[in-house]
Structure 1
Amino acid sequence: MHQGSCLCGAVRFTVQGDLPEASACHCSKCRKHTGHYEAGVDVPRSAVTITGEEAVTWYFSSEKVRRGFCSVCGSSLFFDPVHLDWIGLMLGSFDTPTQTRIGLHIFVADKGDYYEITDGMPQNQQ
């Protein structure tokens, strides 16, 4: 089991089971939502329990995806493709250790110009 929360603790979550390999998304929407690139893991909805859900505000960044953040402290927490059976959880919101690593970078064609990706993991342009 893995646990995590927002900065202020108003929203907490648990994940049953091991976390899968993580990905890093460098698209402009993820960069603007998180303030940098988004690093997260995608897990089945059935594996996640959220407490303090009344403090989660959802923003639809497209017709298919909403992003969840804490309405109290503003922490970015969730990437939710509403028509699929999984939810993305921001790696920075987990209590450590997570026992996972970033294994793939996506949308690197849109990455910020202020950093380089140097970890040697595969990079998809889109």
Structure 2
Amino acid sequence: MHQGSCLCGAVSFSVTAEPKGASVCHCGQCRKQSGHLWASAYAPETEVEITGPVKWCEASKTAKRGFCPDCGSFLFWKAHDEDTISFALGALDGPTGIRLEKHIFVADRGDYYDIADGVPQKD
């Protein structure tokens, strides 16, 4: 099981399933909301328990983003037509044993950094 929380601790979550699809997103929305990029993994929504006052933002017609209304930590991403939920890897407590599988939306990455970790990249 993995546990995590926002910066101020008002929102916490636990993931009972094995996280899948660990990735770093370089899309414009993730860069704007996080200030750089967003690392996440996903699990079935039924295996992620969220406690606290999550505020959901309809980021697009296809997905919403969940964050703490107190400290602003961006914690979740949920596609409207999927039964999984993505959660911020940086919000997890302690060692995770999770390894990145890919970088996504790299065509949208900022021009101020390079991706040089050898992990596969998808435009």
The residue number in structure 2 matching 1:122 is 120
Residue 21 of structure 1 deviates from its aligned partner by 4.2
Q: Specify every segment of 5 or more residues in structure 2 that has no aligned partner in the other structure, as ranges.
A: none
Matched to 2:107, the amino acid is: A
Supply the distance in 2 between the matched residues of 1:98 and 1:76 (Cα, whole angstroms).
Answer: 19
Secondary structure of 1:102's counterpart equals coil
- Mapped to 2, the partners of 1:89 and 1:11 lie a distance apart of 12
**Cα shift at 1:38:** 1.1
State the one-letter code of the partner of 1:32: K
Deviation at 1:101, TM superposition (A): 1.3
Tell me what 1:35 maps to: 35
Distance in structure 2 (CA, Å) of the matches to 1:21 and 1:27: 16
- Name the CA shift for 1:65/1:21 in 2 (closer, same or farther; >3 Å): closer
Structure 1 runs of 4+ aligned residues shifted over 4 Å read none
Contact 2:23 2:101 in 1 (8 A): yes
Alignment of 1:7-86 (within 5 A): 7-52=7-52, 55-86=53-84
**Deviation readout 1:54-100 (Å, 9 max, x if unpaired):** x2111111011000000000001000112210000011111021111
SS class of match (1:33)? helix
Ranges in structure 1 where 5+ consecutive residues have no aligned partner: none
TM-score, normalised via structure 2 length: 0.96
**Separation in 2, partners of 1:61, 1:100:** 27
Separation of aligned partners in 2, 1:58 and 1:98: 26
Q: Residue 113 of structure 1: which of 70, 88, 111 is its match?
A: 111
Q: Give the percent of matched residue pairs that are identical in Structure 1 and Structure 2.
A: 52
- Which of 89, 93, 96 matches 1:95? 93
TM-score normalised to the size of structure 1? 0.93
Distance 1:21 1:98 in 2: 14
Q: Is the Cα–Cα contact under 8 Å of residues 18 and 43 in structure 2 kept in the other structure? A: no
- CA distance in 2 between counterparts of 1:105 and 1:62 reads 21
Aligned-residue CA RMSD in angstroms? 0.9
Do the aligned partners of 1:23 and 1:102 also contact (CA within 8 Å) in 2? yes
